[in-house]
Structure 1
Amino acid sequence: MNCFVPFVVFLQAYRGSVRPFVSFNAKHDAEFLHKAMKGIGTDEDAILMILSARSNDQRQEIKAAYKKAYGKDLVSALKSELGGLFENLIVALMTPPVLYDATKLHKAIKGAGTDDDVLIEILASRTGEEMKDVIKVYKKEFGSKLEKDVCGDTSGYYQKLLVILLQGAREEGIDEDKIQKDAQDLYEAGEGKFGTDEEKFITILGNRSFEHLTEVFDAYKKIANTDIEESVKGETTGNLENLMVAIVKCVRSVPAFFAESLYKSMRRAGTDDDTLTRIMVSRSEVDMLDIRACFKKTYGSSLYTTIQEDTDGDYQKALLYLCGGND
């Protein structure tokens, strides 16, 4: 499998590791979870078995059935019984995907300092429609506009590119007439001049479709004799560089982008559990099978084995369920 292909390929079939459970019964699952948390001690394996084997839509149905049967919020009940990293992961699984993204963005902006890694990851990788849904949920949940909050925490060209991505308005398809011109414009904005025309980079990387940009990057390499990613790194710095590089990587392959992020989250001094949990949960119903394949192809070891080496306990078991198997 070639990891570096346009993201459109991955839309052709369901590529998530978590699928809707076939013989689903929300009432039965709610009863099962109630028994797992009733009395002294908690049956974490039972909780894990149910929630990791259900789609997010099914988990929302279980949540509703639980409240109807027992008059309690299921997430609150789970929080009172669980702890640590396992609790964080289970709560994440119980959160609708759009709300999960909105919550992560809010925390990234409103927490102590700005978590630019989260901003960059979500805004660079989500589709336009996904971002529009996140913006609506963000306003409803937190009472403020996401764009306003992002602008309050960022500045300069980095802020401009984030705002463009927040519009979720990339052009569609490939414009054959623009491919060569866009490639030439990028070259003249960076490698081909003294200094850098950041505005030109922002306009092209922020507005063109992924399919179109794939063609532009190929044309750029012929003009500049170097990859666009290397040019971006040479012409920009800091968060702007990180955001542009993330966009380039997502254009080439969203699964490969996440495979690299997962690898870095586990192969540094101490595991970055926030990133590990966020990606494993948010991609489990999207493209985890492709992320897994890219991980194995790029790093020579399976994602499953790497998770085993870097985590433990119920938290590890949950991550391995979300991984969907060992390559």
Structure 2
Amino acid sequence: MPFTPQQYRAFAQQMFIAIKGLGTDEQALLNVYNQCTTEDIVQIARMFTGCYGFEMDAWVKGDVSGNFGKIMVGCSKPRYSYWATQIHKAVAGLGTDNMALIELVILADEQDIKAIRNEYFRLFKADVQEDIKDDISKNADWARLVKAWWSSFRYERNNVQNDAMTLYKAAKGAGTDEQVFIEMLCTTTVSEYKQICESFKLQFKKDLRDTIISEFSGKSEYCYLLAHDFLIDPAKAVSFAMYKAIKGLGTRDRTLVNCTVLFRDRYRDKVPAYYVAYGNLASDFKGDTSGWYEKTLLQLWRVQ
């Protein structure tokens, strides 16, 4: 339920006081963000400018730093403006950040993709799909799935058992038929994909997820697993992305920041529960981060 204009005014005042004083009141900032969705914060930012004549995200950016600052600034921007900007950064820098690009594309549903496309064009006067296509390998398995995911066309295939068999055959023997996996991941509906997974396990006594692990490696394994998990439940995919960010070779802060900015208000109730398959989210935050960055992750994901 949206807040009233008076409540948005009160939040804007809290933000102003937290930043304006001698030294930033980080906890006061967190208290506001912890109560609000991204859409709420956009309204607070509008109220902030209306009351004080300053852009709220510029004020926040000028007062906080590090990964804590990146989350605070990111959360003060409209969701799809942030999302489009992060994709642009992933493809426009010196060398594509392939891991970031995989996550930013695969964690988007069809409505997200439409909104990102529009916002990307508004911000950068370019077609996001073309920028992605031009910047990544034409042959890597993960790149083919990323491009296909952006053009997903889901429909009722009405062939669950045969689709499960087709996936099994694609993984059987020497070499993997990646095209079959791409087609299944990008044309089945969510409900039908879950049925295919159940049929696969019933027929072949093996999880389809485990089959993906055995057939792919490196970035491709990560990309296909992320797509698989997303179709089971987007929160499951976000949980997996955060686990890989924490437990990889060094903490991948970009993933943790992006997942927190984009999804903490969508999947906050589910992600910690899915993360139990890998460990304890609060303990892993505490073990891999510190200071206000740690406190922000713990509070915005509501884990202690």
TM-score (norm 1): 0.83
Post-superposition Cα deviations, 1:33-84, rounded to whole Å, max 9, x if no partner, equal: 2222225322222222223322222211221122222222111111111111
Aligned counterpart, 1:42: 24
Post-superposition Cα deviations, 1:102-148, rounded to whole Å, max 9, x if no partner, equal: 12211111122222222222322322111111111111111111110
Per the alignment, in what secondary structure is the counterpart of residue 24 of structure 2? coil
d(CA) in 2 for partners of 1:300, 1:162: 28
Aligned counterpart, 1:9: none
**How far apart are 1:281 and its partner, in Å?**
2.3
Is residue 98–residue 134 contact of structure 1 (8 Å, CA) maintained in 2? yes
**How far apart are 1:22 and its partner, in Å?**
7.5
Q: Give the counterpart of 1:319 among 292, 297, 303.
A: 297
Per the alignment, in what secondary structure is the counterpart of residue 25 of structure 1? helix
Aligned counterpart, 1:305: 283
Aligned counterpart, 2:41: 59
Q: Give the counterpart of 2:165 among 184, 187, 190.
A: 184
Relative to 1, partners in 2 of residues 1:261 and 1:200: Cα closer, same or farther, differing over 3 Å?
A: closer
**How far apart are 1:225 and its partner, in Å?**
4.0
Is residue 74–residue 82 contact of structure 2 (8 Å, CA) maintained in 1? yes
**Residue 236 of structure 2 corresponds to residue 252 of structure 1:** no
Q: Alignment identity in percent?
A: 26
Per the alignment, in what secondary structure is the counterpart of residue 40 of structure 1? coil
Q: CA RMSD, aligned part only?
A: 2.4
d(CA) in 1 for partners of 2:165, 2:261: 40
**How far apart are 1:20 and its partner, in Å?**
5.5
Relative to 1, partners in 2 of residues 1:194 and 1:263: Cα closer, same or farther, differing over 3 Å?
A: closer
Report the AA paired with residue 298 of structure 1: A
Aligned counterpart, 2:86: 104
d(CA) in 1 for partners of 2:216, 2:240: 21
Which is further off, 96-105 or 217-226?
Answer: 217-226
Relative to 1, partners in 2 of residues 1:209 and 1:110: Cα closer, same or farther, differing over 3 Å?
A: same
Higher RCO, Cα 8 Å, sep 6+: 1
d(CA) in 1 for partners of 2:179, 2:279: 39
d(CA) in 1 for partners of 2:165, 2:236: 27
Which is further off, 214-223 or 98-107?
Answer: 214-223
Gaps of 5+ in 1: 1-18
Aligned counterpart, 2:59: 77
d(CA) in 1 for partners of 2:246, 2:183: 34
Relative to 1, partners in 2 of residues 1:267 and 1:23: Cα closer, same or farther, differing over 3 Å?
A: farther
What aligned pairs does 1:225-236 form with structure 2 within 5 A after superposition? 225-236=205-216
d(CA) in 2 for partners of 1:98, 1:36: 26
Relative to 1, partners in 2 of residues 1:324 and 1:22: Cα closer, same or farther, differing over 3 Å?
A: farther
Q: Give the counterpart of 1:32 among 5, 14, 29.
A: 14
**Residue 254 of structure 2 corresponds to residue 274 of structure 1:** yes
Report the AA paired with residue 199 of structure 2: A
Q: Give the counterpart of 1:205 among 168, 172, 185.
A: 185
Report the AA paired with residue 130 of structure 1: D
Gaps of 5+ in 2: none
TM-score (norm 2): 0.88
Relative to 1, partners in 2 of residues 1:94 and 1:197: Cα closer, same or farther, differing over 3 Å?
A: same
Report the AA paired with residue 221 of structure 1: K
**How far apart are 1:222 and its partner, in Å?**
4.0
Post-superposition Cα deviations, 1:250-301, rounded to whole Å, max 9, x if no partner, equal: 2333323322322332334543221112212222111111111122x32453
**How far apart are 1:181 and its partner, in Å?**
1.7
- Number of corresponding residues: 302
**Residue 112 of structure 2 corresponds to residue 134 of structure 1:** no
Post-superposition Cα deviations, 1:148-187, rounded to whole Å, max 9, x if no partner, equal: 0111122125443222211243225xx4x41122122222
Is residue 285–residue 294 contact of structure 2 (8 Å, CA) maintained in 1? yes
What aligned pairs does 1:103-122 form with structure 2 within 5 A after superposition? 103-122=85-104
Report the AA paired with residue 132 of structure 1: K
Is residue 129–residue 168 contact of structure 1 (8 Å, CA) maintained in 2? no
Aligned counterpart, 1:242: 222
Is residue 214–residue 252 contact of structure 1 (8 Å, CA) maintained in 2? yes
Report the AA paired with residue 187 of structure 1: Y
